[in-house]
């Protein structure tokens, strides 16, 4: 079914279509589809665009990544499905390391993600998991020694709360991208970006570095997250109805 | 994976498990999985239990169904997956007609839903769709003449907004069950139940009829829906974090 470009929820429906496509390719899990539904609810509540609080966090995040000694972008199946080309563009612009890292571990699914990015002309880590994030059970802690394990700053889009917490415990600077400002992942973020993952990565590549530096200097994460919650509360009172498909 | 009964999100995880099971059986669609994610977000926001505003609407709904000449309960794949036995118990208690009605139409999927209820010892309509809800395109308007088409009151759990609107235009009394108080389905409800579908159907069978009569007499849908929105706004300020799996 072709979605008309002028459909009021065009972007949202395209994202859903991408998720289904990547589900059929074995990159997104059934659980990832349910997560996308939760994301849709919060995206609608924040207005389905990058609000000022998101832009501020995103600018601060770019400055932090540029200034880190070993920054790593962690990507899972949903992030690949929603923002593959945007992730590649940003990683190439600043020469950032990307590592595939998934919640429901399978070697096959990691390989599919790595291959997907290779097809977009970017080599990413993930196939050579030779280290473990302490405090996570079995396969959930797997990562690469030269990647996430030894990173000083990790950007974790759509990450599980336990892993966000474990990375924090390792002393890393955590940048989260999660539409739910109440999620444990958002709560563990040192910079918590409350925005859609595609919009966030797309914005990252557009900012001027000078603006990013300034944003980081004055950035207050806790007050910024509160702004997102305030906006949702305001929207709840003003939305006439929810234009679902 | 066995979910421990004392897990803080046991009920929510069991629901997700049921959805996956019914997805594999061909009853729930991929789109239904994404809808479940949206539902999870709102259920968490209303506290994952039947709040006072839900109980009031549910009592009023039972009284209305009992007093209608031709009440019909509409069920789709997600409703079957989430509340099959509870729907059967309620339908039998008051001898109510149930009709399978799905958004992404397929004869096979309708048959699977009808068979599922037959396995729970309840015959439901849906296989003999010989009428059409005016104003809905192609297969989306299909229904049975002796069921939804000629009903005076329809209960629509987890329904699409367009169909809720079309039923309203036909002059029917619409009772919606939807965790999102902002959805078009909730907005078109004459009685809008903001609750989980399993909890709602389970409650329906527990109420005393006298209490239901009283609730209907004083029921004000618009003010009741507003209470659900107020509660979500309050929760947004008080939730410490979102304990996702």
A180 has a chain B CB within 8 A of its CB? yes
Provide the pLDDT confidence category of residue A243 given band limits of 50, 70 and 90: low
Given pLDDT bands bounded at 50, 70 and 90, which one contains residue B14? confident
In terms of CA atoms, which chain A residue is nearest residue B103? Answer: A245
- Answer yes or no: do A244 and B19 touch at CB < 8 A: no
User: How much is the mean pLDDT over chain A?
Assistant: 92
Query: Could you tell me the pTM of the whole model?
Result: 0.88
Shortest Cα–Cα distance, A200 to chain B (Å): 21
Nearest CA in chain A to B15: A34
CB contact under 8 A, B183 and A241: yes
Task: Give the pLDDT mean for A71-79.
Answer: 97
Mean pLDDT of B106-125: 97
What local confidence, expressed as pLDDT, does residue B10 receive?
77
What distance in Å separates the CA atoms of residue A170 and residue A154, rounded to the nearest whole number?
A: 11
Residues in chain A closer than 8 A to B35 (CB atoms): 37
B147 in contact with A, Cβ within 8 Å = no
Asked if the Cβ–Cβ distance from A41 to B36 is below 8 Å, we say no
CA distance B168 to chain A (A): 16
| Cβ-based contacts of A33 with chain B (< 8 Å) | 30, 33-34, 37
With a cut of 50, say whether residue B137 has pLDDT above it: yes
CA A97-A219-A187 angle, to 5 degrees, is 70
Q: Between B141 and A172, whose confidence is greater?
A: A172
Report the percent of chain B where pLDDT is more than 90.
Answer: 74
Q: Does domain B52-234 have CATH number 2.40.50.90?
A: no
Q: Cα–Cα distance between B167 and B165 in angstroms, integer?
A: 5
Confidence band, pLDDT 50/70/90 cuts, at residue A245: very low
Q: Is the pLDDT of residue B7 over 70?
A: no
Q: Is the pLDDT assigned to residue A200 strictly greater than 70?
A: yes
Q: Is A20 part of the contact surface with chain B (CB cutoff 8 Å)?
A: yes
Q: What share of chain A is helix, strand, coil (3-state, %, to 5)?
A: 55, 10, 35
Q: What proportion of chain A, given as a percentage, has pLDDT over 90?
A: 73
Q: How far is B207 from chain A (nearest CA, A)?
A: 31
Nearest CB to B244: which of A23, A36, A183? A183
As beta bridge partners, residue A174 has A154
Q: Is pLDDT of B245 > 50?
A: no
pLDDT in tens, A29-45: 988 998 899 998 999 89
E strands along chain B, which residues? 71-75, 97-100, 131-132, 142-143, 153-157, 173-177, 191-193
Residue B89 CA to residue B222 CA, distance in Å, equals: 29
What token pair was written down for A149? 């394990």
- Whether A180 and B35 lie within 8 Å, measured CB to CB: no
> Scanning every residue of chain B, which has its alpha carbon at the shortest distance from the alpha carbon of A39?
B38
Mean pLDDT rounded to a whole number for chain B: 92
DSSP string, B124-189: -B-S---EE-TT--GGGGEE-TTTGGG-SEEEEET--HHHHHHHHHTT-EEEEE-S-TTBHHHHH-
Contact A244 B160 (CB under 8 A): yes
Pick from A37, A42, A161: which is nearest to B35 by CB?
Answer: A37
**What was the pLDDT predicted at A1?**
53
- At residue B17, the pLDDT reads 86
> Domain map of chain A by residue range?
52-234
Identify which of B42, B160, B236 has the shortest CB distance to residue A233: B236
Determine contact: A159 vs chain B, CB below 8 A: no
Lowest-pLDDT range of A182-186, A229-233, B95-99, B234-238: B234-238
B20 touches chain A (CB under 8 A): yes
Option in A37, A239, A243 nearest B38 (CB): A37
């Amino acid at each position: 079914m072709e979605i008309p470009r002028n459909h009021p929820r065009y972007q949202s429906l395209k994202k859903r279509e991408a998720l289904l496509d990547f589900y059929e390719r074995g990159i997104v899990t059934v659980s990832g589809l349910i997560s996308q539904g939760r994301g849709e609810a919060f995206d609608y509540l924040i207005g389905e665009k990058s609000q000022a609080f998101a832009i501020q966090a995103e600018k601060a995040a770019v400055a932090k990544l540029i200034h880190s000694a070993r920054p790593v972008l962690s990507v899972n199946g949903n992030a690949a499905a929603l923002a593959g080309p945007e992730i590649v563009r940003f990683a190439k612009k600043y020469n950032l390391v990307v590592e595939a890292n998934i919640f429901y571990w399978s070697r096959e699914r990691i390989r599919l993600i790595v291959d997907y990015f290779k097809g977009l002309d970017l080599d990413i880590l993930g196939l050579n998991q030779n280290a473990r994030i302490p405090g996570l059970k079995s396969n959930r802690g797997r990562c690469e020694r030269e990647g996430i394990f030894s990173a000083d700053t990790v950007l974790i889009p759509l990450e599980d709360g336990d892993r966000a917490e474990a990375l924090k415990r390792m002393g890393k600077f955590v940048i989260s991208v999660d539409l739910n400002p109440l999620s444990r992942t958002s709560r563990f973020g040192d910079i918590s970006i409350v925005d859609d993952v595609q919009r966030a990565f797309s914005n990252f590549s557009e900012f001027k570095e000078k603006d990013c530096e300034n944003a980081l200097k004055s950035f207050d994460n806790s007050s910024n997250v509160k702004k997102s919650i305030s906006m949702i509360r305001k929207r709840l009172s003003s939305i006439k109805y929810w234009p679902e498909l």
